[in-house]
């Protein structure tokens, strides 16, 4: 598996898109710091960008890589290599190269700005961890979609729809249902609904750490009230980990049954 | 030795293989023939474990194949369509497959045989169909495995490469290997193969030597014998 990971990883970091992604984060980091002049404020702005953008990039890169490396995959399938090694190796290759772009692209400007002497270092680290988690989750979801859809166009559409749903539509529906059922106790519903959306989970995770109750919103407040700050952090992180494990596990089992 | 027991495979409602039983002994060249869509490639891919059959077993050298696919170290496979990662160079690709497989390979000899020296640094995207097929052949033959499976090895080859391929196959046969070939070029099949397996409607219709097939159908050459079977079954 490590060999496949290595080849996928190097194949990707040689591609132009990885550099575009990296350059984008570098630019974003510098511009934010220049405009905000304050590390903590920059972290909050960054959170809003990361939470929407990282899933989008993860999904698109995931499906794109799967479809474009189809030939490579077919070649590998005839070799004495386990199927799970092939697909998990490729998945990790994509996800880790994206994580690397994220960490370097945002880390560099913040370090240059004096991150290590600042109190914001833990907030920033958590932001990067969340970004990494979101990359792992959405790349895995994208691989799942691609494995189930031979048709590229269909696969792409489902991937974009998934992102759109979780990043935008989900919150709208959620809000709508809160308004519609405001006479009922909604704590449990809110809690469960949050757990089913990794983007919401990530937002709450970061806001809990930043301890800005004004930004927490209804869901965050309930989360905070239910779990408390530290337990809330841990359980949110645990849920995110589960969001990584389940799709990856499904990649493995689906790959085992598929015909090539 | 390859043994297939009661192999069934369908794609959706489309039944491709409906109970294939086949035993291929050691040593020799076996041609798998059949009309388009008769399940030749599906059968080969089931042997390789690339297709997961609904029912049935495949044994390689007396051992049932394991889904982890590690038994493939005893198999060399030439896919029908030469699909390669396009942004790799020929040399890089060969190096990568060698590395992944972790065994010795004699690629230099094959590169020379097919005259690929000038293409080693070219990207695979920029190669012609025939040249890609030559690269494909190098990848399939460079490992010294006891079983070789060739799916349409002749496609896109020029006459010189074709001669070289026949020589290469004969050489591998002399080493005592088992070679499975599918092809639609009957003269090629007639020239190289020891035995024929004829697939029709998802089953083995005939297995035996070319001589036996001729006697069975009463035709003189292989092409007509095959045509005879097909028209007889359609009528």
Q: Are B125 and B87 in contact (CB under 8 A)?
A: yes
Please tell me the distance from the alpha carbon of residue A96 to that of residue A244, in angstroms, as a whole number: 13
Using the predicted structure, report yes or no on whether residue A140 has a pLDDT greater than 90: yes
Report residue B190's pLDDT band, with 50, 70 and 90 as the boundaries: confident
| Three-state secondary-structure class, residue A181 | coil
**Structure confidence at residue A238 (pLDDT):** 92
What's the mean pLDDT in B26-53? 88
What's the mean pLDDT in B16-42? 87
What's the mean pLDDT in B188-199? 89
Angstroms from B47 CA to nearest CA on chain A: 10
The answer to whether B85 contacts A71, with C-beta atoms less than 8 Å apart, is yes
Judging contacts by C-beta atoms under 8 Å, the chain B residues touching residue A71 are 83-86
Q: What is the DSSP string of B16-29?
A: EEEEEEEEE-SSEE
**Structure confidence at residue A148 (pLDDT):** 95
B2-234: CATH topology: Rossmann fold (3.40.50)
Please tell me the distance from the alpha carbon of residue A97 to that of residue B11, in angstroms, as a whole number: 36
**Structure confidence at residue B74 (pLDDT):** 87
Report residue A56's pLDDT band, with 50, 70 and 90 as the boundaries: very high
Domain ranges for chain B: 2-234
The answer to whether B99 contacts A257, with C-beta atoms less than 8 Å apart, is no
Angstroms from A77 CA to nearest CA on chain B: 7
pLDDT digits (tens, 9 = 90+) for A81-124: 899 999 999 999 999 999 999 999 999 988 888 877 877 888 88
Using the predicted structure, report yes or no on whether residue A166 has a pLDDT greater than 70: yes
Q: Facing residues of B147 across strands? A: B75, B178
The percentage of chain A sitting over the pLDDT mark of 70, rounded to a whole number, equals 98
Which range among A142-151, B6-15, B186-195 has the greatest average pLDDT? A142-151
Angstroms from A162 CA to nearest CA on chain B: 27
The percentage of chain A sitting over the pLDDT mark of 90, rounded to a whole number, equals 42
Please tell me the distance from the alpha carbon of residue A226 to that of residue A238, in angstroms, as a whole number: 16
Using the predicted structure, report yes or no on whether residue A220 has a pLDDT greater than 90: no
Q: How far apart are the first and last CA of chain A?
A: 19
**Structure confidence at residue A23 (pLDDT):** 93
The answer to whether B51 contacts A260, with C-beta atoms less than 8 Å apart, is yes
Q: Are B167 and B191 in contact (CB under 8 A)?
A: no
Query: Sign of the C-alpha dihedral, residues A57, A61, A64, A67?
Result: negative
Round the average pLDDT of chain B to a whole number and report it. 87
What's the mean pLDDT in B81-109? 85
**Structure confidence at residue B111 (pLDDT):** 93
Report residue A257's pLDDT band, with 50, 70 and 90 as the boundaries: confident
Judging contacts by C-beta atoms under 8 Å, the chain A residues touching residue B99 are 3
Measured CA distances, B225 to A24, B34, B214 (Å): 66, 12, 6
**Structure confidence at residue B31 (pLDDT):** 92
Report residue A75's pLDDT band, with 50, 70 and 90 as the boundaries: confident
Using a CB–CB cutoff of 8 Å, tell me whether A150 touches chain B. Answer: no
Window 4-23 of B: residues touching A by CB (8 A cutoff) are 11
Round the average pLDDT of chain A to a whole number and report it. 88
**Structure confidence at residue A250 (pLDDT):** 96
Using the predicted structure, report yes or no on whether residue B235 has a pLDDT greater than 60: no
Using the predicted structure, report yes or no on whether residue A13 has a pLDDT greater than 70: yes
Short-list A178, A174, A180, CA closest to A200: A174
> What total of structural domains would you count in chain A?
1
Other residues' Cβ atoms within 10 Å of the Cβ of residue B210: 18
Window 70-109 of A: residues touching B by CB (8 A cutoff) are 70-72, 74-83
Report residue B205's pLDDT band, with 50, 70 and 90 as the boundaries: confident
Please tell me the distance from the alpha carbon of residue A98 to that of residue A102, in angstroms, as a whole number: 6
Please tell me the distance from the alpha carbon of residue A185 to that of residue A92, in angstroms, as a whole number: 42
Owning domain of residue A156: 2-257
The answer to whether B52 contacts A7, with C-beta atoms less than 8 Å apart, is no
Q: What is the DSSP string of B26-55?
A: SSEEEEEE-STTSSHHHHHHHHHTSS--SE
**Structure confidence at residue A245 (pLDDT):** 96
Using the predicted structure, report yes or no on whether residue A214 has a pLDDT greater than 70: no
In the block, which residue shows the tokens 């909050």?
Answer: A44
Angstroms from A81 CA to nearest CA on chain B: 6
| Three-state secondary-structure class, residue B230 | helix
**Structure confidence at residue B118 (pLDDT):** 92
Judging contacts by C-beta atoms under 8 Å, the chain A residues touching residue B77 are 78
Using the predicted structure, report yes or no on whether residue A15 has a pLDDT greater than 90: no
């Amino acid at each position: 598996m490590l060999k496949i990971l290595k080849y996928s990883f190097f194949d990707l970091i040689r591609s132009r898109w990885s550099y575009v992604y990296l350059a984008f984060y570098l630019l974003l980091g510098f511009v934010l710091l220049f405009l905000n002049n304050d590390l903590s404020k920059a972290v909050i702005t960054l959170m809003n960008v990361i939470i929407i953008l990282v899933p989008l990039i993860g999904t698109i890169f995931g499906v794109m890589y799967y479809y474009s490396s189809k030939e490579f995959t077919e070649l590998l399938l005839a070799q004495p290599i386990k199927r799970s090694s092939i697909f998990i190796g490729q998945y990790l290759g994509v996800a880790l190269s994206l994580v690397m772009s994220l960490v370097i692209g945002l880390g560099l400007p913040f370090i240059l700005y004096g991150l290590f002497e600042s109190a914001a270092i833990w907030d920033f680290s958590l932001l990067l961890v969340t970004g990494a988690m979101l990359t792992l989750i959405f790349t895995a979801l994208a691989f799942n979609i691609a494995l189930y859809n031979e048709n590229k166009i269909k696969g792409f559409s489902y991937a974009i729809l998934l992102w759109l749903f979780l990043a935008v539509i989900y919150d709208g529906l959620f809000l709508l249902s809160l308004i519609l059922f405001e006479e009922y106790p909604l704590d449990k519903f809110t809690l469960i609904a949050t757990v089913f959306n990794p983007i919401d989970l990530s937002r709450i995770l970061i806001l809990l750490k930043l301890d800005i109750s004004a930004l927490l919103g209804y869901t965050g407040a309930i989360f905070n009230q239910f779990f408390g700050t530290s337990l809330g952090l841990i359980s949110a992180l645990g849920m995110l980990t589960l969001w990584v494990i389940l799709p990856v596990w499904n990649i493995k089992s689906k790959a085992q049954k598929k015909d090539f | 030795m390859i043994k297939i027991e009661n192999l069934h495979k369908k794609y959706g409602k489309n039944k491709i293989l409906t109970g294939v039983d086949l035993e291929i002994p050691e040593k020799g060249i076996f041609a798998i023939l059949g009309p388009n869509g008769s399940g030749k490639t599906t059968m080969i891919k089931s042997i390789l474990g690339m297709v997961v059959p609904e029912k049935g077993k495949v044994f390689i050298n007396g051992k049932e194949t394991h889904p982890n696919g590690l038994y493939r170290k005893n198999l060399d496979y030439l896919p029908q369509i030469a699909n390669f990662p396009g942004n790799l160079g020929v040399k890089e690709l060969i190096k990568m497959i060698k590395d992944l497989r972790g065994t010795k390979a004699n690629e230099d000899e094959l590169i020379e045989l097919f005259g690929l020296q000038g293409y080693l640094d070219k990207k695979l995207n920029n190669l012609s169909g025939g040249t890609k097929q030559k690269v494909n052949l190098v990848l399939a033959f460079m490992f010294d495995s006891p079983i070789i499976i060739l799916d349409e090895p002749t496609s896109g080859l020029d006459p010189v490469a074709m001669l070289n391929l026949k020589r290469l196959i004969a050489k591998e046969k002399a080493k005592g290997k088992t070679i499975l070939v599918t092809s639609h070029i009957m003269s090629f099949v007639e020239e190289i193969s020891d035995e024929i397996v004829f697939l029709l409607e998802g089953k083995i219709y005939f297995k035996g030597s070319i001589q036996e097939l001729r006697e069975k159908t009463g035709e003189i050459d292989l092409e007509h014998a095959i045509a005879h079977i097909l028209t007889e079954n359609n009528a």
